[in-house]
């Protein structure tokens, strides 16, 4: 019975050597991950809004500046013999396909830029998401080990009636391991000399 209690105590001591994580860390990391999800969605929305505004500014520019400038340019190219006021509707009809082609080309360029940025954001988010999921799993695992450790220590206390000081046994084992490590480090140069 005492040997099994000693084995159980030793196992618990090994567990206590592991890092402890407060229970709130599990909740906190989950909240950070949820916040990152929200931030990613917000980033995508902001990029879409930015490019929507750029497209609106492009349309405004084409309607208020580019088209009038282009029409004036064509007016100057017309010979004086042509009464452009009478022919203005025909002139505009011939210019509109050129304007629409230019507008479509610029909008396609904006669409391509938007897709590249969203793709980069999404790839970065996927990488972050994988890392944060691994971290969350690690923290959950550590929290489970901590809970198991507490349960084991409580069981040892109940079995022994608090006769075994687990902390003292752990300190003695740590001292022994440190001394052993120091001795082994001193033997290493001697071993090299013997080779």
- As a whole number of angstroms, the distance between CA 40 and CA 44 comes to 6
Query: In this structure, what token pair is assigned to residue 166?
Result: 């687990």
Q: CB–CB of 5/159 below 8 Å?
A: yes
Count how many Cα atoms sit within 13 Å of the Cα of residue 175 in the half-sphere of its side chain.
6
Alpha helix segments (H runs only) across 62-83: 67-77
Chain segment 84-129, per-residue pLDDT in tens = 667 777 777 888 888 899 999 999 999 999 999 999 999 999 988 8
Query: In this structure, what token pair is assigned to residue 54?
Result: 């750029």
Q: CB–CB of 23/143 below 8 Å?
A: yes
Chain segment 25-82, per-residue pLDDT in tens = 778 888 888 888 899 999 999 999 999 999 999 999 999 998 888 878 877 777 777 6
Long-range contacts of residues 63-71, Cβ cutoff 8 Å, at least 24 apart: 66/99, 66/102, 67/95, 67/99, 70/95, 70/98, 70/99, 71/95
């Amino acid at each position: 019975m005492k040997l099994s209690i000693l084995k159980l105590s030793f196992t618990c001591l090994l567990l206590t050597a592991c890092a402890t994580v407060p229970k709130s860390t599990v909740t906190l990391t989950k909240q950070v991950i949820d916040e990152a999800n929200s931030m990613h969605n917000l980033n995508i929305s902001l990029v879409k809004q930015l490019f929507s505004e750029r497209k609106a500014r492009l349309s405004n520019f084409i309607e208020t500046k580019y088209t009038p400038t282009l029409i004036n340019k064509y007016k100057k190219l017309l010979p004086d013999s042509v009464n452009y006021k009478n022919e203005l509707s025909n002139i505009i009809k011939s210019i509109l396909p050129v304007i629409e082609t230019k507008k479509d080309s610029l909008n396609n360029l904006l669409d391509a830029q938007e897709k590249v940025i969203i793709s980069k954001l999404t790839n970065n988010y996927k990488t972050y998401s994988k890392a944060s999921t691994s971290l969350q799993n690690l923290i959950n695992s550590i929290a489970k080990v901590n809970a198991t450790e507490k349960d084991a220590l409580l069981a040892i206390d109940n079995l022994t009636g608090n006769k075994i000081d687990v902390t003292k046994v752990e300190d003695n084992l740590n001292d022994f391991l440190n001394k052993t490590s120091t001795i082994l480090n001193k033997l290493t140069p001697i071993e090299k000399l013997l080779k």
